[in-house]
Structure 1
Amino acid sequence: MVYFGSLFVLLLSAFWDTNSFTGEIVHTFTLENFQRIFEQPVFRDVAWRTIQMAVMVTLADIVLAFPIAYYMARIASPRTRNLLVIAVLMPLWANYLVKAYAWRTILSDGGMINWVLEPIGLSFDGYSTVGLWLVFTYLWLPFMILPIYAGLERIPSSLLEASADLGGRSFTTFRKVILPLAFPAVVAGSIFTFSLTLGDYIAPGLITSEQFIGTVIYNIRSQALPTAAAYSFVPIVIVVGYLLVARRLKAFDSL
């Protein structure tokens, strides 16, 4: 109740005004904050940049997570499977800030990536959008692996055996049997990777100077709280729409 009460007050403040002289909040109903967000290109550009980042992180995590989850669910022995599950869960036990600062060190000019690239005459600007993409991909990867692993584990072996008996090759079985049955689990994992990327402000603030929805809200909250509250509607609306689509794709059956 405390969380929903705080969220309600935050969203309610989006309809308040700010005194142009003192900067204090005026409790009068107005839609100017939403008008400002729609009219000023910077807010649209930041929202589009954030959505693109969330999509790229989600796609990267799907590509990385699916083979790992498939090996865990269909190939690995029970002992190896248990060890892999622990290995996937272990990063979740580490503090978020510790992992973010660790990646900041890795991506620095004297970090591990540039240390590896230096002998071949290359360098990598880690404090960039690409660097942030790597950080997000790492941070949210377990949230993609676990739902896909659960979805693949629930696929009956009899279906794969039936496909083989009917002459289906490995790729055909994967494309026509495994992938359709695992697709809701992939969508379920994407809910986490997409929404977590959409609202994060700590990693972007540490890694890059590019602005994202979370960093804009954080930066303007003290000077223009009603505008920041109005802008917070953007990720909420996007996530709600995403959840509605995921529900139609039966993603919640995999959770």
Structure 2
Amino acid sequence: MRRRLATCLHRHAGVRLSLLLSAPMAWLGLAYLGALAALLVTAFWSTDTFTGNLVRTFTWVNFEDLVTGEVYRTIALRSLGVAAAVTVIDLVVAFPMAFAMAKLASPRAQRWLVIAVLTPLWASYLVKAYAWRVLLSTGGILGWGYGLGATVLTLSYLWLPYMILPIYAGLERLPNSLLDAAGDLGARGWRTFRTVVWPLTFPAVAAGSIFTFSLSLGDYITVKIVGGRSQLIGNVVYDNIGAANNLPFAAAVATVPVLIMLVYLAAVRRTGALENL
């Protein structure tokens, strides 16, 4: 019996692959997709205003409050703006760093630079966020104070490695012969970048933007630490789970970044960004 099973698995690579992936795919379905399904179902419930208990009957009231409430539209747009600003800042900072790592540094230096980029990820998220709080406080080294600017700056620092590494990988795959050919044909630096480097590395840029955009869109800890009175989507979800004890409305708000990221992923899918993750 064992010999027949081994022979069957050896001959049918698809069956063997299916068996190997069955356990992790089942876990993914239960832990991730199951959680999203529970989130979506809860968003259509409500909370009894007197007892605070969940009312498990279908209702659109949470989404109606989201659509009609001007404050929630403002928070959603603010969150989108913060995520977009963090992505743009990280791109501007990461691209020259990644280019220097991939095309200018020696192979030995590349390894050390990659380690240097990864090193901040080993530190605690809270330690890094509170370090920026100290820097941005009134008596700190920068003394900028708290608010949306401090939130964007802190998030840009936190997620910068997630933009550098995909771009570095994309630039490393870019043949040096293409850059040499562009120079031999008379193209200067900016034209070489615009016609050769940028089009070929754009999928890697889009891949990095998925990380920076999504992580910034759903973050709520940083804005609590350095954001002052600013409110983002993540804070609305957190506050409704905790102080307000309104789990259905929190679930409805949490669907907003999920829908935004689905649209974003559908848009960047055509660039080949998902193949660069």
Does TM-score exceed 0.5, indicating one fold? yes
Tell me the alpha carbon deviations over residues 220-252 of structure 1, each in whole angstroms, 9 at most, x when there is no partner.
114211111011111000001000111011111
SS of residue in 2 equivalent to 1:21? coil
**Does 1:216 find its partner at 2:245?**
no
Q: CA deviation at 1:150?
A: 0.4
**1:17 aligned partner:** 46
**1:182 aligned partner:** 201
1:100 pairs, out of 129, 134, 146, with 129
2:212 pairs, out of 188, 193, 201, with 193
Q: CA deviation at 1:253?
A: 2.4
For 2:274 and 2:37, the matched residues in 1 are separated by: 26
Unaligned runs of 5+ in 2: 1-29
**1:241 aligned partner:** 263
Tell me the alpha carbon deviations over residues 187-212 of structure 1, each in whole angstroms, 9 at most, x when there is no partner.
11000000000000111111122000
Q: CA deviation at 1:17?
A: 1.6
Greater relative CO (CA pairs within 8 A, separation 6+): 1
Q: CA deviation at 1:2?
A: 2.7
Regions of 4+ moved over 6 Å: none
Q: CA deviation at 1:38?
A: 0.4
Tell me the alpha carbon deviations over residues 154-206 of structure 1, each in whole angstroms, 9 at most, x when there is no partner.
01112112212222222221111011101111111000000000000111111
**Does 1:77 find its partner at 2:96?**
no
For 2:165 and 2:69, the matched residues in 1 are separated by: 40
SS of residue in 1 equivalent to 2:142? helix
1:143 pairs, out of 152, 162, 181, with 162
SS of residue in 2 equivalent to 1:113? coil
**Does 1:6 find its partner at 2:35?**
yes
The one-letter code of the counterpart of 1:51 is L
For 1:79 and 1:97, the matched residues in 2 are separated by: 32
Q: CA deviation at 1:97?
A: 1.0
For 1:227 and 1:86, the matched residues in 2 are separated by: 42
Question: Alpha carbon RMSD of aligned pairs, Å?
Answer: 1.1
Q: CA deviation at 1:23?
A: 1.4
SS of residue in 2 equivalent to 1:210? coil
Tell me the alpha carbon deviations over residues 3-29 of structure 1, each in whole angstroms, 9 at most, x when there is no partner.
433332222110112112111101111
**Does 1:250 find its partner at 2:269?**
no
For 1:16 and 1:170, the matched residues in 2 are separated by: 58
**Does 1:156 find its partner at 2:178?**
no
SS of residue in 2 equivalent to 1:190? helix
**1:120 aligned partner:** none
How much identity, in percent, do the aligned residues show? 53
Larger Rg belongs to = 2
**1:43 aligned partner:** 72
Q: Count matched residues.
A: 245
For 2:136 and 2:186, the matched residues in 1 are separated by: 49
The one-letter code of the counterpart of 2:125 is Y
**Does 1:56 find its partner at 2:85?**
yes
TM-score (norm 2): 0.86
The one-letter code of the counterpart of 2:254 is S
SS of residue in 2 equivalent to 1:149? helix
The one-letter code of the counterpart of 1:221 is I
